[in-house]
Structure 1
Amino acid sequence: MTLKTQRLQTLDQIRAFVEGAQALDFAAPARDEAYDWIGGELRRFQYLRLGKVARGWMHRYLEKVTGLSRAQVTRLITQFRAGGQIRDRRGPPSKPFPRRYTAADVQALVELDALHDTLSGPATRKLCERAYRVFHDARYERLATISHGHLYNLRHSQGYQRQRGRVDKTRPVQVAIGERRKPHPGGRPGFLRVDSVHQGDLDGIKGLYHINLVDEVTQFQFVGSVERISERFLLPVLEALIDARGRLRKRYPYAQMMTPYDKLKSLDQASQYLKQGVNFAELDAIAYARSDNDAALCLQKARAKLFRSINNAQHSAA
């Protein structure tokens, strides 16, 4: 594409163009062409011999035609004054930072979250650490030292999202169980926004409903889960979430996170709490016979079997 600026022959014509008094049909070219054009215009109007005011009009002229900023045009003119020409000095793109966590790490995290129902960040970190250091699963070597921030970055990545199942939205019901209305607290705490998310079904068995309550003013959040969306199940949960106990905030230092068995072993003179004839060597063989992931897989299978038996019993009774 070419710039139709040849009709501008004098500085007065350039000033008129910059001030908008003279129309000009032009189209912005590619970067290399723009640089060549700028260099040609600077030579055509003998920029190096111009006075301060005329140079200012040339700056504004070049900015208006090319769409470049004042700082960009200044840098290009400085390059022209130094060597008589303008070149694209941009080098090849810099080498990106190496990826610490690979697609295999994302896959391992997906499997772990699926087995353990996507636990909190600290709990997931501890499971990754135990998988590598206790059960010697090489897939978790890098994840064993992952930080909270990187853990959630991986969970939000496209690779993770493609592999994890989606959460089904709550399906509408025919019977109205509440009125959808934006709260108007007037600056007073205690007005809650309530939302529910269905965990999803498994083999035709209804999953849990997660109830999320957020105070409109303080933005304090309460979360609970119920088996069904009905008054029978909702009232006990709502009462439990909003009382004094529900508002207590507990902190669990990462260094102190451990299984109940590990906590027992960490006590002073822990062997005194064992039954006679029982020792930690025997208990270790039982505790570490299965990894956390293997135990979670067994739990998932047993839970699915239990749900199917309950569902079959309910259908038979009906």
Structure 2
Amino acid sequence: MGDHHRMIVNLNESQIRALDQVRAVLDGTQTLDFAPAASPSKRREWVGSVLRRFRYNQLKRPHRGLVLRYLRRFSGFSRTHMTRLVQLWMLGHRLAWVKGTPANAFARRYTDEDVFTLAETEREYGRLSGPAMVVVLRRMYQVYGDERFERLQHLSASHLYNLRRSQAYRLHHTTYTKTRANPKGAAIAVRRAPAPENRPGFIRIDSVHQGNTEDQRGVYHINAVDCVTQWEVVATVPTLEREHLLPVLRDMIDQSPFRILGFHSDGGSEYINHEVARMLKEQLIDFTRSRPRHCNVNALAESRNGNVVRRQFGYAYIPAEWAKQFNAFCVDLLNPFLNMHRPCLFGTEVPDPKKPGRTRRVHRHEDVMTPLEKLASLPDAGRFLREGITLDQLQQQARSQTDVEAARQVREARERLMGKVAGQTQPRYADVWSFARSRSA
């Protein structure tokens, strides 16, 4: 009969005398009627008898590994201890006389009390680096005379890490606390799209970098656009560090004529941090951020990055020390021009004749207007404005100069500013001024 099942044979350990039998035991095709002795000395003696039985010193390397696997399985010794026992046997020692620790083991210098003192000290300090902690230990004895640190004053940084891995150290130093769920509202910003419901004050914000050199970074432009009116505020900062970004964000919020109700950003760390969240919470502004797999959720701000910011400033390097001048240009000239003199396209939802029950967005001629005109067209627009600001004031400011005059003023001021930057960064970045002129033309 073609029986392919392996036969299991019970053997006494003393009957295992061939390497094929050892391999069969390790593979499970043969079982042993064998119980290792509880005494470590008896188990070491058995190891020596197996090594003699198989003439271990005459075996080739693969066969030695087979015997070592057999010994480790039935002796219960670790790989390290087994290697030590084999080395002693090869030197002619009787393994039954060998103690559990090697003959040349290092004498223990630091007691359990020293380890406890070390753990207690590190718990108070919050576990410093090794070189810093050994200085603390040395000072505790040499400066303050604490007798508990007499031996620890000689502790090296490298051996400190060894003591940290010891069981005694972990017993005294490690503390376990119950896992706590995040408190309600602990996450920074909610992952959802803004819901303006035809109300101004829900802005989308993004940042634009103005190039680098080999050793210096350029300025950053911050671009915020209102979802409903497309009211846009542009600012410039030298870096996205919080000491530069937070004051500019507050100023951008104050530049808006209406109350800011929502603040939406992507997942950039310049916005998703506790400082920005705290600032928005103080002003009762809803903080939201983009959701995964919604690549076009912040498309309004990103499209303005190209249509406004890049068209105004281009792509060339602008040194960070010019951030203050460029930000003043944005506040005084660019932002009023964008909101009072630059028309924008606004979509209108109409029924889709090809898909009953669905709508599509169209852009009609009568829907092209400036952000200020869009704001004025909203029902009861005055209730959204900040205290002390009226639509009449904004419209009077818009009529103080024509659209073309405002555009010319912005262009001339930008060219002067870019020309100064080009003069400073000559000769390598002299194309900044010419690039700005070509874009404006």
Same fold, TM-score > 0.5, yes or no: no
Greater gyration radius: 2
Q: Structure 2 length as normaliser, TM-score?
A: 0.25
Q: TM-score, normalised by structure 1?
A: 0.33
The structure carrying a bigger strand percent of its residues is 2
